[in-house]
Amino acid sequence: MRVLRLVVVAVAFLFVVSSAFCCSCSFGPPIQKTSERGRERAVFTARVVQPLGGTSNWDGERVSEMVLAVVHERYWGLPWYWPKVVILDGRYPCDTVMAIGEEYLVSGSPERYGVLSVNLCSRTRPLKSAQVDLRTLDGSHCAGPGGTVIGFVRTGTDQLRGDYPTAPDVSVKLLDQDGKTYTAPSDSDGIYELRHLTPGTYAVESLVSQNQYASSIGVSVVEGECREMPMLLREYSVRGRLLPKLTATIELVGIDAPSMRMQSDSIEPDGRFYFRNIPDGEYILSVTPWIGGTAKNLYYPGTNDRQKAARLRVTNQELAGGRSLDFDPKILPMVPIPITLDPSTSDRFTWRVQLLQSGQIMTEGTWAPGGKLVVLYGMRGASYGIGLYGYSNRPVEYGDCRSEITPVGAKPGMDTVHVAVPANCY
């Protein structure tokens, strides 16, 4: 357990000190006074002056999970009668470690007099890397109608490690669920911002140039709130396109050396996939969709027969013919199943939409608040059931909730499947 705890602390430090992210909720809402969560917290700047308990050394800095800090600027939530020196507790779970001598933007939950909890994805981070939160603090950038997407654009090779330089003057394009595009440039600080977007889910249009793409997760836009979606510009050698938000393993497999298998560096939410640093040679492109283990391997340009797969030659990081390896959706065995909830809103539950076959979950997705659709993929011609599982937002007050199963057959060009939310669950 001690080893596991140290690993968690190390990962948390990399997020907080470098990219200011914490655990699995690294891209959560930035600090905004107008949100309910923001109003419940104390937000201020402070300099960490002394560790309380054990310390570690990271990149030449002493860090600790529990520290004394001197309060500088108070924004809200910190009572006037509290001391100027406070204790910041970032201990497990979702540890936040803080560097001694560093100035921080603090978002803390008051625990007792003079003590604030800054763990559990609090967005407490070094002031020098808190530009997004400093913009959204008062909520003016987040006001309706609609919601706001904001974030850094950086240039690098890995989203989890390294404090990469920001990228100004980059045209950022977001796609909504209808395929409509929204564009904004990153400014001199490398921050882009798109306001007044209709609530729902959005993905970045990843292709930026002939040798560069923008890597990012999707984002769910909520009315009157700011959501953060950072982007990392990465280089590629070979690209292609499958289906938006399809979970799959995509590999280049050596023809003369089948043991040489290169997995794609990225599969982006818009369906594009990218490879880089490919050794010279001949390959076939293999796709393994993750749909309950029922799918067979698929080979470019769209066959289940390995012998009929296209032979692809790569020389000096370039694909012969310079083409993009785009699959034709009309001949793919996977088909999208668009699903909506009736009614579509509930403050009581967080919904998982599940695609079932013989009682087993083939695949599932999360319903985004304010969203229009969840799109799951099934195999062409197969029969499934669609069910909802609602995770209680207040487990002490009420339990989880399940819906009835809605039968559906997967076929191209399907109409939206309407799934009824149980009457006692909203």
Q: Which residues pair with 193 in a beta bridge?
A: 150
Other CB atoms within 10 A of residue 354 CB? 22
Average pLDDT, the chain: 87
Range with the largest mean pLDDT of 6-10, 175-179, 266-270, 345-349:
266-270
Q: How confident is the model at residue 212 (pLDDT cuts 50, 70, 90)?
A: very high
Mean pLDDT within 359-380: 87
250 in helix, strand or coil? strand
When mean pLDDT is compared across 155-159, 188-192, 309-313, 359-363, the lowest value belongs to 155-159
9 with 127, same domain: the answer is: yes
C-beta contacts of 47-50 below 8 A and 24+ residues apart: 47/72, 47/101, 47/102, 47/103, 47/104, 48/88, 48/98, 48/99, 48/100, 48/101, 48/102, 48/103, 48/104, 49/85, 49/100, 49/101, 50/100
How far apart CA 384 and CA 379 sit, in angstroms, is: 10
Place of tokens 């001694």: 100
Q: Which CATH number covers residue 392? A: 2.60.40
Mean pLDDT within 84-112: 91
Is the pLDDT confidence value at 14 over 70?
Answer: no
When mean pLDDT is compared across 132-136, 154-158, 191-195, 196-200, the lowest value belongs to 154-158
Whether 362 contacts 292, CB under 8 Å: yes
255 with 212, same domain: the answer is: no
Q: Can you give the pLDDT at residue 23?
A: 52
Look at phi and psi of residue 316 and say left if phi exceeds 0, alpha if psi is from -120 to 50, else beta.
left
Other CB atoms within 10 A of residue 238 CB? 24
Is the pLDDT confidence value at 18 over 70?
Answer: no
Whether 133 contacts 142, CB under 8 Å: no
Is the pLDDT confidence value at 116 over 70?
Answer: yes
307 in helix, strand or coil? helix
How far apart CA 372 and CA 391 sit, in angstroms, is: 19
Mean pLDDT within 325-352: 87
Q: Which domain holds residue 219?
A: 139-235
Last residue of a domain, one of 331, 356, 385: 331
Task: Dump pLDDT digits (tens) for 382-397.
Answer: 999 999 998 887 887 7
Last residue of a domain, one of 282, 298, 331: 331
Other CB atoms within 10 A of residue 267 CB? 22
More confident residue, 13 or 402: 402
Q: List C-alpha distances in Å: 349 to 390, 395, 423.
A: 5, 10, 13
The radius of gyration of the chain's CA atoms, rounded to the nearest angstrom, is 24
321 with 372, same domain: the answer is: no
Last residue of a domain, one of 266, 296, 331: 331
Whether 272 contacts 213, CB under 8 Å: yes
Task: Dump pLDDT digits (tens) for 213-243.
Answer: 999 988 989 899 999 999 999 999 999 999 9
290 with 358, same domain: the answer is: no
* Domain total in the chain: 4
- Of all helices (H) and strands (E), which one includes residue 135? helix 131-136
Mean pLDDT within 239-250: 93
